[in-house]
Amino acid sequence: MASHGCFFFFFFIFFPFFLIILFIPCNAHGGTGRNQRPPAIKLNVIDRCWRRSPNWQRHRQQLGACSVGFSGKMTNNVGADVVKYKVTDDGDHPLEPKPGTLRFGATAITGKVWITFEKDMRIKLEKPLLISSFTTIDGRGASVHIAGGGCLLLHQVSDVIIHGIRIHHCQPQTAGKALGPDSKVAELGEVDGDAIRLVASSRVWIDHNTLYECHDGLLDVTRGSTDVTVSNNWFRNHDKVMLLGHDDEFVEDKKMRVTVAFNHFGPNCYQRMPRVRHGYAHVVNNLYQGWEQYAIGGSMNPSVMSEANLFIAPESENKEVIANGNCCQDKLHKCPWCLAICPT
């Protein structure tokens, strides 16, 4: 007997005005049928590039060809000259990291390095991890948490991939020293407790990570950083989620270009998904599972292209999409321009 009421749902969102929903029957008789295969899971363009291969673990560098957006294809991270490094030790020392630790792989190896993890682990960094150029941190195949201490800092580097890591409960750090790129000791000022912070860095791809409950922001792209793609990440349980642009006076961020695609914001995200200053952000195909203050905001005349995003407003409050108005001015410190979702 054929079952009834079985449909596939396809959503086409033309932000901010139209939402078209098509209901397509599972088959001509209204059911999947005993001898019929269930529909294949549809992957986005990034995941189609590598997840379909049953042997992806043998061909990890295929990931470098899968990025989209302003980061470009991460071809500088792949090749026969890549050093394959496996993290076997969850310990950390900011100045004298042992071989086998994450800090050793990210700072002490010259040239291209592809970092993987031997097993599930939870890493507490004693100081922020300064990541070298041409570094890939690939958490696929293990459950890797960076939590409870310092987190990730990209300072004047390029060609970095951060994939498949859970980063949470990052804490402020006092000024001090830590080993940086090319094994050089770096003087660090106080840091605020961001999960990932980019400073004057470029060609960075942040994909398939889970970020939540840090002391300050989850992701900051600042001080002239550009050509960044943020994709397939889950941001949750946080106030200030994503900041693009250092501050109002830092006009060098006008050259900033960031793609924010296929991310899941929520539940319990308050604001900055993202907040953009000066530069350009393409915000596309993201899911917003509620918000408190606003979803997307901007100041200092940025350009934001918001395309095909799905906003699910909290049921407890009415919300509206606005391009300008008192809500922006009140919530975003009198910003001259913003696209925000605010209470009516």
Q: Are 290 and 312 in contact (CB under 8 A)?
A: yes
Q: Is 60 assigned a catalytic role? A: no
- In angstroms, rounded to a whole number, what is the distance separating the alpha carbons of residues 66 and 75? 10
Cα 344 to the center of its chain, rounded Å: 30
Looking at residue 125, the DSSP 8-state letter turns out to be B
**Residue 223's closest CA among 255, 263, 196?**
255
Burial 34-46 (b: 16+ CB within 10 A, else e): eeeeeeeeeeeeb
CA dihedral sign, ordered 312, 317, 321, 324: negative
β-sheet with 287-289: strand ranges across: 121-123, 144-147, 166-168, 210-212, 234-236, 264-265, 287-289, 310-312
Pairing between β-strand 275-277 and β-strand 158-163 as defined by DSSP bridges: unpaired
In whole angstroms, what is the distance from residue 145 CA to residue 147 CA? 6
Task: Name the token pair of 35.
Answer: 């001898």
Catalytic residue among 103, 203, 236, 272: 272
Residue with tokens 């992701």: 219
Gap between the Cα atoms of 261 and 284, Å rounded: 5
H helix intervals, 262-333: 326-331
**Closest listed residue to residue 238, CA positions, set 201, 172, 289, 162:** 289
**Residues labelled catalytic:** 272
